[in-house]
C-alpha cells in the first residue's frame, strides 16, 4: 500500500476515479443489444454458445422446476436453516422502510397525496463467473418482494455443463422467484430490457456484473429502469492510534479478494500507517491526515461504497459522513457483516456516486403517482396565481380551462 498526503496528486486520482468508458466495449455491447432486440432467442442461443461455451435450445433457456427441486440435493445440509436467519434479518430491515400512500386535505377542499405502486416485473442479474454470488440473490429479491413486485425474473450465466449453481437455485426458490433463466452477459440484459419469445421484458433491471453487463445496463436505461451503474467494490477505513491494526489488515485483505477492489486507510496516526503498510501487500492507499476531521472531509470527497469507522466513539464521526453507501460502526462491524447477514442490501453506489445515489431499497421497486383533487372553492383561491404564471408563459388556453369552471 502507498502512503500519501492529502495534498498529493495521487489523491486527486482517487477523487476523480471513473467508470471504464472504452469505445470498443461500448460498440460491442451495442451490437449485442441490437442483435437480441432484432433476433430474440436466436441471438441469445448464439451468444450463449460463443461466450459460455454452452449449446442450448430456446426451451432450455428457462430453468425447469425439476432442475430447481433437484438443486436441494446438491447443497450442504444446514444451508437452508442458516439462510432463513439471514432472510429474516434482511426482511425485517426492509419492512421498516416501506412507505404508504397518503392524502391531505385543506380548508378549501383541495386534496393532495401520493399513491405508491409496486413495479410489475423486475429482472435480477446474478453473476457466477469466478464464484456464484449467492448473497446477491437475497440482497436484491427480498426488497423487491417486500415492495410488492408482481413478477421477478432471475438470470445467471450457466457453467460449462449448462447448469446454474445449485445454491443460487435454492435461494431463488425459497424466495419464490417466478422465473429463472440460464443466461448471462450483455445478452441477458438485452433480453430483459426488450423481451424475446421466451423471456418477457421487465420494467427494471438490478444486480451487479462485469464490464459488459454494466455497459449493457447503461445502454438500456431509458427503455427500462436500472438500479445503478456500479464499478469495482471499494472500502475506506477511518482509524486512529487506538485502532486494532489486525482488524484493519484483515479487512483490507478481505477487500483484496474482490477483483479490482479498492481499499483505503485514512488515519492521523503515522505509527498505525507504517504498521499496516508493513503487513499488507495490496494495491491500495493509506492517506495520512492531520486529524480525524480531515479524515472525514477526505472520506466525503471520496464518497465510497463502504466506510468502516474503527475508533472508540464511531457515532460521533459517522454523523459527519454525508457521502457513503454504507457506514460500519466500531471494531465488530466488518464489511463482511453487511455483505452477508446484517440486513441492508449490499447493492451500493460506487465510484463516487454515493454523492447522489443510495443503496438498494424498497423505493427502487415502487413508483409514486401524485394525486390532485380541487374543489371549486379551492380552484377559485388559486385562480390569480395561476393566471399570473400562465400569462408569463403565454399559455392562455391553460387559463381558459380554469375560467370555464368558475363562470
Q: Kindly list the catalytic residues.
A: 305-306
- Helix 270-279 to helix 245-256 angle (10° resolution) is 50
By C-alpha distance, which of 315, 250, 243, 303 is closest to 279?
A: 250
Distance (Å, whole) CA 349 – CA 65: 34
Q: Report angle CA 360, 130, 32 to the nearest 5 degrees.
A: 75
Q: Rounded CA gap, 188 and 34, in Å?
A: 12
Do 204 and 47 touch, CB atoms closer than 8 A? no
Kindly give the interhelix angle for 134-147 and 79-96, rounded to the nearest 10 degrees. Answer: 40
Residue whose cell numbers read 478481505? 254
Distance CA 58, CA 75 (A): 28
CA 244 to centroid of chain Cα atoms: 31
| CA-closest candidate to residue 279, choices 244, 319, 228 | 244
Answer yes or no: are the C-beta atoms of 364 and 204 closer than 8 Å. Answer: yes
User: What's phi and psi for 234, nearest 5 deg?
Assistant: -150, 150
Cα separation, 167 vs 179, whole angstroms:
16
Note the Cα 107 to chain centre separation in Å: 43
DSSP-derived secondary structure for 258-301: STT-EEEEEES-HHHHHHHHHH---S-EEEE-SSHHHHHHHHHH
Q: How do strand 121-125 and strand 204-206 relate by DSSP bridges?
A: parallel
- In the chain, the N- to C-terminal Cα span, in Å, equals 76
**Helix-helix angle 185-194:23-39, to 10 degrees:** 50
- Separation between Cα atoms, residue 32 and residue 46, nearest integer Å: 10
- Give me the residues paired with residue 286 across strands: 3, 265
Which three three-digit cell numbers place residue 101?
400512500
Amino acid at each position: 500500500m502507498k502512503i500519501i498526503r492529502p495534498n498529493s496528486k495521487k489523491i486527486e486520482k482517487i477523487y476523480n476515479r471513473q467508470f471504464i468508458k472504452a469505445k470498443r466495449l461500448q460498440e460491442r455491447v451495442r451490437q449485442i443489444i441490437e442483435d437480441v432486440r432484432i433476433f430474440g432467442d436466436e441471438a441469445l442461443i448464439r451468444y450463449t454458445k460463443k461466450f459460455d461455451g454452452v449449446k442450448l435450445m430456446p426451451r432450455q433457456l428457462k430453468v425447469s422446476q425439476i432442475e430447481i427441486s433437484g438443486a436441494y440435493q446438491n447443497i450442504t445440509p444446514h444451508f437452508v436453516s442458516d439462510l432463513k436467519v439471514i432472510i429474516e434479518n434482511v426482511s425485517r430491515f426492509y419492512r421498516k422502510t416501506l412507505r404508504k400512500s397518503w392524502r391531505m386535505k385543506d380548508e378549501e377542499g383541495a386534496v393532495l397525496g401520493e399513491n405508491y405502486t409496486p413495479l410489475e416485473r423486475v429482472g435480477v442479474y446474478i453473476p457466477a463467473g469466478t464464484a456464484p454470488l449467492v448473497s446477491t440473490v437475497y440482497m436484491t429479491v427480498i426488497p423487491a418482494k417486500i415492495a410488492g413486485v408482481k413478477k421477478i425474473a432471475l438470470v445467471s450465466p450457466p457453467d460449462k455443463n449448462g447448469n446454474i449453481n445449485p445454491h443460487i437455485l435454492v435461494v431463488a426458490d425459497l424466495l419464490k422467484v417466478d422465473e429463472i433463466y440460464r443466461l448471462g452477459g450483455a445478452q441477458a440484459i438485452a433480453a430483459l430490457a426488450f423481451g424475446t419469445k421466451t423471456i418477457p421484458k421487465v420494467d427494471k433491471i438490478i444486480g451487479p456484473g462485469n464490464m459488459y453487463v454494466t455497459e449493457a445496463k447503461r445502454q438500456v436505461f431509458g427503455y427500462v429502469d436500472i438500479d445503478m451503474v456500479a464499478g469495482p467494490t471499494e472500502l475506506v477505513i477511518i482509524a486512529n492510534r487506538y485502532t486494532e491494526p489486525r482488524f484493519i489488515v484483515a479487512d483490507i485483505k478481505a477487500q483484496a479478494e474482490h477483483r479490482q477492489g479498492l481499499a483505503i486507510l485514512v488515519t492521523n496516526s503515522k505509527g498505525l500507517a507504517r504498521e499496516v503498510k508493513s503487513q499488507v501487500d495490496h494495491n491500495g492507499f493509506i492517506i495520512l491526515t492531520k486529524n480525524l476531521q480531515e479524515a472525514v472531509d477526505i472520506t466525503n470527497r471520496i464518497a465510497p461504497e463502504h466506510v468502516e469507522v474503527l475508533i472508540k466513539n464511531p457515532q460521533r464521526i459517522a454523523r459527519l459522513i454525508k457521502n457513503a453507501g454504507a457506514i460500519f460502526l466500531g471494531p465488530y462491524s466488518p464489511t463482511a457483516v453487511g455483505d452477508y447477514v446484517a440486513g441492508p442490501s449490499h447493492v451500493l453506489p460506487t465510484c463516487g456516486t454515493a454523492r447522489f445515489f443510495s443503496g438498494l431499497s424498497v423505493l427502487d421497486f415502487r413508483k409514486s403517482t401524485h394525486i390532485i383533487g380541487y374543489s371549486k372553492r379551492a380552484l377559485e383561491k388559486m385562480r390569480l396565481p395561476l393566471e399570473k404564471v400562465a400569462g408569463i408563459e403565454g399559455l392562455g388556453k391553460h387559463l381558459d380551462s380554469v375560467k370555464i369552471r368558475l363562470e
